[in-house]
Chains A and B, each alone.
Chain A
Amino acid sequence: MEEKKAIIEALVFAAEAPLSIERIAEILTGTERADINGALQELTREYEERKGGIHLQAVAGGYQFRTRSDLGVWVKKLRTAKPVGLSPAALETLAVIAYRQPVVKADIDRFRGVDTAGSLRGLLDKKLARIVGRKDVPGKPILYGTTRKFLEVFTLQDLSALPTLRELKELQD
């Protein structure tokens, strides 16, 4: 099992995107998913206990090595490109899409009380939101939803990892 754990570690390290348990199972034929999951949990714990600069993070339905979040200030200096920030308007629009998807633009506008065309276009360009279909009402308006990249960018395992609006409200009170 120790050997398999090492293989899994190597796979996650070499993968370009978060690596799912399914994908690992395809490569490590004959290994139970539960065992793979166990190895990943163990690795996650090991990296955490080591308190080093790297963490194993469950994100977007897979696992990925990421730098520790409080070290961002340093790693940022390494990057030449400016980090892509989201404006408060874009964040609000993204929040509405994340919680109400699939959602039409008219509803996003209504929830925010302003026209969201600009920020919506920005989110589509950044691939944080995408067109998921058309609503079956007259005019067939476009339905929007979030992307896999959204999960990756905001370090979410899946959409259920978002706190519910009710929980947020309790947090606020």
Chain B
Amino acid sequence: MGYEIKLDIFEGPLDLLLYLIKKNEIDIYDIPISLITKQYLDYIEILRSLNLDLAGEFLVLAATLIHIKSRLLLPVEEDPSTEDEEDPRAELVRQLLEYQAFKEAALQLDSRPVLERDVFTRSCPAVEPDDREDLEIFAEMDVFDLVKAFQQIIAKLDKTECMEIDVERMSLADRINEIMDRLTEHKHLTFTDLIGERTDRRWILYTFLALLELMKLRMIKAYQGESYGVIRLFLAVE
């Protein structure tokens, strides 16, 4: 196949599709689905033959194209109730036009005078790092940050010290109550405070699960000053 491909030029399946439409000088409102589907699949095949990790999204659009193609092949029913049935391509065209608009908007943004690239302001002296614990600058975290923190702690564990001894059954409810008690007492705690000196997996796991549950119930709030920074936990209501 005589295609020349640049691998990083496509931002996604829609980008590839737009490229094919432009290359073939096709009217976006009247896409010859059969031709485009074939070319699209050819591209995917090339990407695959190069052993590239094909993002799932490319396959989803391939399936969509084939689905549209198959719907176009079906004879149109003479049923008056389906008279207003939309062109199967309509949704895709809408999506493509929207994407095209945002792509243009992105280019437009990039063409503006960008601070610290094209235009510069007077340099200010580097601001002294603020040692005060200004709680307002903490960004609210989501569950994924918490999972990341959990993984870090697990990774830090000395494997030889990890022994699974199934003697004591911890209860999640107990752990939740413990955490709430400690938080009520101390106002705020860090994640590491809660883990303490104990390194057994079950303890960390239950602490973590208890935090997730408390966050879900909106009984506590978790904040983190920066990525990988200290996680601070607060009661959601005083």
A interface residues (Cβ-Cβ under 8 A, vs B): 13, 16, 57, 64-70, 72, 75-76, 79, 83-86, 88-89, 91-92, 94-96, 98-99, 110-115, 125, 131, 142, 152-156, 162-163, 165, 168-169, 171-172
Contacts and interface: CB of A to CB of B under 8 A. Distances in A.
A172 B108 CA distance: 11
Interface string B105-126: 1111110111111111110100
B112 A156 contact: yes
B171 interface: no
A83 B117 contact: yes
B119 A69 contact: yes
A113 B114 contact: no
B14 interface: yes
B99 A113 contact: yes
A92 B114 contact: no
Nearest to B9: A88
Nearest to A161: B112
A70 to B, nearest CB: 8
Given A66-B115, A165-B105, 12 more contacts: A64-B121, A69-B113, A69-B118, A69-B119, A84-B116, A92-B103, A99-B102, A114-B14, A142-B142, A154-B114, A169-B104, A172-B104
Contacts of B98: 111
Interface string B85-107: 00000000001001111111111
Given A114-B57, A153-B114, A156-B112, A66 B121 contact: yes
Contacts of A95: 102-103, 105-106, 108-109
Contacts of B116: 79, 83-84, 153
B93 to A, nearest CB: 13
9 contacts: A86-B110, A89-B11, A114-B57, A153-B114, A154-B112, A155-B113, A165-B101, A169-B104, A171-B108
A84 B119 CA distance: 13
B212 to A, nearest CB: 16
**Prevailing SS type, chain A contact patch:** helix
Contact of A75 (B95, B100, B120): B120
B61 interface: yes
Given A113-B57, A142-B142, A169-B101, A88 B106 contact: yes
A72 B118 contact: yes
B109 A65 contact: no
Contact of B13 (A13, A57, A68, A114): A114
Nearest to A168: B104
Most buried by B among A86, A88, A95, A113: A113
Nearest to B117: A83
A88 to B, nearest CB: 6
B142 A94 contact: no
